Amino acid sequence: MFKVGGMQNSADIVIIGGGCIGVSVAYHLARRKAGRVLLLEKAEFLGAESTGKCAGGIRAQFSTEINTRLSLYSIDRFERWQDEIGHPFQYRQWGYCFLLTSDELVANFRKSHAMWTRLGMNVEWLAPPQVEQRLPYVNMEGVQGATFHSRDGFGDPNDITQGYAKRAQELGAVIETGVTVTGIELEGGRKVTAVQTSRGRVATGSVVLCTGAWTRKLGGMCGVDVPIDPIRRQIIVTDKFDDIADPFPMTVDLSTTLYFHRESGGILIGMSDHTESAGFDDSFNEDFGEKMLLTAMQRAPVLENAAPKHKWAGLYEVTPDHHPVIDRLGHVQGAYVCAGFSGHGLMHAPAAGALTSELVLDGKAGSIDIRALELSRFSDPARLHDEANVI
């Protein structure tokens, strides 16, 4: 093996993208002794894009069975993180509470609740007086009830990224940052032979696209369309704020998509702007920031006393049905994609890595049936999913 510009010039498997998904894939491949695993990240540090800008929410309360299964698998693994990974992970299982403010939401959540119970989850259904008692900071206007799952919560995205990356390196994977993949070479237009990078060519028979919001561009290098669009999402974190007593759950109002939870002594507030169109602009939109704060103060009036301290925007990596793609890259032999988690990638990182390593090494994912996540579903509207709990 030769080194080009300080970097090795061949690998058995090249993972493109060093967010939480790429490092999880690297770790899972390395622990299966998959050969020479090389991860390439264009930014100067890991987790610089969506992963580093995310809210850290980890929950199993989804409306589709496949999303719920990805979460349950991942929560199991997060709960055993210290034993498995051996690096620190700040993880608070303080629960998620979904406030239900319309007949339609109540009906949808009743359906989901039956599915969650079938999958072994213990989700509490709270009547309004119980919501009032458990979440005294909530303005109860319109609240018809709520669901609460105690195994949900939130964790530090940096701990997850660094933990997987360090463990992958301990197991022999090589991680290079500051390296942009500029092309993927194919033999006869169908078989991966190398990747071209800003630091030279790396010969390889396998690539895994873990490129989040940029995956459409990378898929295009192989002539395959992967319909993942970048959509801006914003976060505001307040200064130290004690008027809501710990521990309190991630509180979600689906009617507005407002959510908030404890963050570094303050409160992290998020909300989706449904007028956003696809694009890579991740500057903070002040007007929408105002709207987020007003909405937060309406639902939790005590937040009037909280002072905004930090604010930022980042990109969701959104597919047409808000579910990821974990699959081969169309007709291209040796190419795989694990991307498009549509705003839920951090919480699904353990499952994503495990399933992708199975797909690459065994030819088929065994831990969970992931036929629902095939790329080909986008050409058949009947196979698209309908995830109702998107925030």
For residue 219, which amino acid is it? Answer: G
Q: Which 3 state secondary structure label does DSSP give 23?
A: helix
- Cβ(97)–Cβ(89) under 8 Å? no
Tokens of 34: 């998959």
Closer residue to ligand FAD in complex, CB, 101/319: 319
Q: Smallest distance from the beta carbon of 55 to ligand FAD, in angstroms?
A: 3
Report in angstroms how near the CB of residue 382 gets to ligand FAD at its nearest.
Answer: 26
Kind plus residue range of the DSSP H or E element containing 207: strand 206-209
Nearer to ligand FAD, 263 or 358 (CB): 263
Residues 233-252 that bind ligand FAD (CB under 6 A): 233, 235
Using CB under 6 A as the binding rule, whether residue 56 contacts ligand FAD is answered as: yes
In the bound state with ligand FAD, the residue whose beta carbon lies nearer, of 75 and 372, is: 75
* Nearest in space to 24 (alpha carbons), one of 358, 371, 314, 329: 358
Non-local CB neighbours of 181 within 8 Å, separated by 6+ positions: 14, 16, 40, 42, 195, 196, 197, 218
Residues 6+ apart with CB under 8 A from 100: 106, 109, 143, 144, 145, 146, 147, 254
Tell me the closest approach of the beta carbon of residue 381 to ligand FAD, in angstroms. Answer: 24
The number of CA neighbours under 13 Å toward the Cβ of 30 is 24
Binding-site member from 10, 12, 32, 48 for ligand FAD (CB under 6 A): 48
Binders of ligand FAD among residues 152 to 211 (CB under 6 A) are 180-181, 210-211
Binding residues for ligand FAD, rule CB under 6 A, total: 42
Q: Which two tokens stand for residue 44?
A: 């100067």
Determine the interface stretch with ligand FAD among 36-44, 64-72, 137-145, 184-192 (rule: CB under 6 A): 36-44
Nearer to ligand FAD by Cβ, of 145 and 231: the residue is: 231
| From 7, 14, 15, 17, residue interacting with ligand FAD (rule: CB under 6 A) | 17
Find the distance separating the first CA and the last CA of the chain, reported in whole Å: 46
Nearest approach in angstroms of CB 289 to ligand FAD is: 12
User: At closest approach, how far in Å is the CB of 181 from ligand FAD?
Assistant: 4
Closest to ligand FAD by CB, 41 vs 327, is: 41
Question: Hey, how many other C-beta atoms are within 10 angstroms of the C-beta on 356?
Answer: 26
* Beta carbons within 8 Å of 170's beta carbon, 6+ residues apart: none
- Which parts of this chain interact with ligand FAD (CB under 6 A)? 16-22, 40-43, 48-51, 53-57, 180-181, 210-214, 218, 233, 235, 270, 314-317, 339, 341, 343-347
